[in-house]
């Protein structure tokens, strides 16, 4: 008799905040239906003998369509997410340069974004929005109620620079109003107001913390004096001090307004220390945990240009310690598909960002669990459970518990592969992790109870759903 749609048999199940158990997992109607020994009676069975079963990762920092057509990015880059065991992506979107290259009210623009992504995403997906104008700030109550957008963003260096830090005509880039600390205050004030009327949901503002006035001084120095304009120079032009000061500025306004904040992509020991002293949740990325600008400069090219910059091994280890001791709440990819032609050979006009979603669980397993001894439950927390809790997805995402969405990935703990661009199934034509040996790769990724990725290939067609989080 068929009782379940899918069974995952004989695997080691990783339960965030609890640990590991050897058990079978049953799926019915797109949700996890049972967990136990010797379950049977399913239409389809995944043999997970000798493998690890993790809750599907929630890649909470993504940039669909920032440099390419939104629909194409949705298809190719969420496909890449499956390779790394991510079953949900939360993507940032704003008006201004890049993305749709225009401004206007979100009542008009956001439905266009949803139409472009709908039917093309392999994972479930949601959005964080950045209010770039006062009009958009006033739309926040409607965005929460109508579209379930409960997380927003402010870019602290946009008051003085464009995205690449190549121009100081910030207003031409944002196409918005005065984008300064006053604008940040208005966003926080509005979020705190809406939060009071919605105590059942966490409304939060995610912060890109780099202080533009200090960036101006350091970038001017580097452009005048650095013999080689490379990734080391880029880090020197945007040093950790710019993160420290921006975190302090934002924290002061958050304390005054009562807004809840997330400190994004912390890149340095100093940034982690500063963010750990104030209320808020903290994120870092795979590249800030693992990459060193001197190593990338030795290989040549500007593929590793990203904001905030890649630092050094000492900063890597400080951030890993934050993952270990709980100061870092989650790890994300900050995935932004950026082709090599947009990097070029001139540091300052080069587009920042690159893809990495396909490496989310593999790098955390290889570098976090195998190399540094982090428990698998901690890996599941920083990749899945904690971002789900932060962004109003807990109860559906982030766990293998009965009743949650049947989003999971089966990882072969002995599979060792050398990272190549082709392996990642992204549209991007380069990767800063190229040539790195990584152990622990998903063999199967399940989204909503349906096998979407198996043995290096996608299965079927995209079936990801939009996540209304309010």
For residue range 401-445, what is the model confidence (pLDDT) as tens digits?
999 999 999 999 999 999 999 999 999 999 999 999 999 999 999
Round to whole Å and give the CA distance between 366 and 375: 12
Q: What is the pLDDT of residues 194-249, one digit of tens each?
A: 999 999 999 999 999 999 999 999 999 999 998 999 999 999 999 999 999 999 99
Length of the chain counted residue by residue: 470
Query: Which run of H or of E encompasses 88?
Result: strand 86-94
The CATH number of the domain covering residues in 56-398+427-437: 3.20.20.140
Mean predicted confidence (pLDDT) in 142-147: 98
Residue 36 predicted with pLDDT over 90: yes
Question: CB-based contacts of 298: which residues, under 8 Å, 6+ apart?
Answer: none
Residue 1 predicted with pLDDT over 80: no
Round to whole Å and give the CA distance between 368 and 289: 10
Cβ proximity of 110 and 190 under 8 Å? no
Question: For residue 466, what are its two tokens?
Answer: 């939009």
Mean predicted confidence (pLDDT) in 54-81: 98
| Predicted pLDDT of residue 2 | 78
Round to whole Å and give the CA distance between 313 and 268: 10
Round to whole Å and give the CA distance between 105 and 135: 7
Cβ proximity of 138 and 190 under 8 Å? yes
Round to whole Å and give the CA distance between 351 and 335: 13
| Predicted pLDDT of residue 177 | 87
How many helices (H) and strands (E) are present in the chain, helices listed first? 16, 17
Residue 361 CB-half CA count within 13 A: 34
Percentage of the chain exceeding pLDDT 90: 99
Query: How confident is the prediction for the chain on average, in pLDDT?
Result: 98
| Predicted pLDDT of residue 203 | 98
């Amino acid at each position: 008799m068929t009782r379940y749609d899918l069974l995952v048999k004989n695997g080691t199940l990783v339960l965030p905040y609890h640990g590991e158990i050897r058990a079978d997992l049953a799926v019915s109607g797109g949700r996890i239906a049972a967990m136990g020994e010797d379950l049977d009676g399913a239409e389809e069975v995944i043999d997970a003998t000798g493998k690890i079963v993790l809750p599907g990762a929630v890649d909470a920092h993504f940039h669909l369509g920032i440099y390419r057509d939104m629909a194409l990015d949705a298809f190719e880059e969420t496909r890449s997410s499956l390779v790394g065991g991510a079953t949900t992506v939360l993507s940032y979107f704003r008006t201004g340069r890049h993305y749709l290259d225009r401004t206007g009210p979100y009542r008009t623009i956001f439905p266009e974004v949803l139409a472009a992504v709908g039917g093309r995403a392999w994972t479930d997906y949601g959005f964080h929005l950045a209010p770039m104008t006062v009009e958009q700030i006033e739309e926040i109550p409607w965005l929460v109620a109508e579209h379930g957008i409960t997380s927003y963003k402010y870019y602290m260096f946009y008051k003085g620079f464009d995205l690449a830090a190549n121009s100081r005509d910030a207003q031409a880039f944002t196409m918005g109003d005065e984008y300064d600390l006053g604008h940040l205050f208005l966003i926080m004030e509005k979020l705190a107001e809406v939060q009071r009327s919605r105590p059942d949901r966490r409304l939060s503002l995610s912060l890109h913390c780099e202080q533009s006035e200090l960036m101006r001084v350091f970038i001017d120095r580097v452009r005048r004096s650095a013999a080689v304009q490379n990734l080391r120079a880029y880090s020197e032009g945007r040093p950790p001090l710019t993160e420290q000061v921006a975190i302090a500025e934002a924290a002061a306004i958050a304390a005054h307004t009562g807004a809840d904040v997330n400190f994004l992509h912390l890149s340095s020991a100093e940034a982690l220390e500063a963010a750990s002293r104030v209320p808020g949740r903290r994120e870092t990325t795979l590249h800030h945990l693992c990459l060193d600008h001197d190593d990338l400069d030795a290989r040549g090219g500007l593929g590793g240009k990203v904001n905030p910059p890649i630092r050094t091994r000492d900063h890597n280890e400080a951030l890993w310690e934050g993952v270990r001791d709980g100061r870092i709440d989650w790890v994300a990819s900050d995935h932004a598909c950026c082709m090599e032609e947009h990097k070029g050979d001139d540091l300052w006009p080069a587009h920042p960002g690159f893809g990495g979603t396909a490496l989310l669980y593999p790098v955390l397993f290889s570098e976090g669990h195998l190399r540094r001894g982090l428990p698998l439950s901690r890996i599941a927390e920083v990749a899945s459970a904690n971002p789900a809790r932060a962004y109003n997805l807990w109860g559906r995402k982030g766990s293998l518990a009965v009743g949650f969405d049947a989003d999971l990935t089966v990882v072969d703990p002995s599979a060792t592969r050398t990272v190549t661009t082709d392996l990642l199934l992204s549209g991007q034509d380069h990767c800063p992790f190229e040539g790195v040996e990584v152990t622990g790769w998903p063999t199967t990724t399940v989204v909503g109870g349906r096998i979407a990725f198996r043995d290096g290939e996608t299965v079927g067609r995209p079936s990801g759903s939009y996540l209304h989080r309010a």
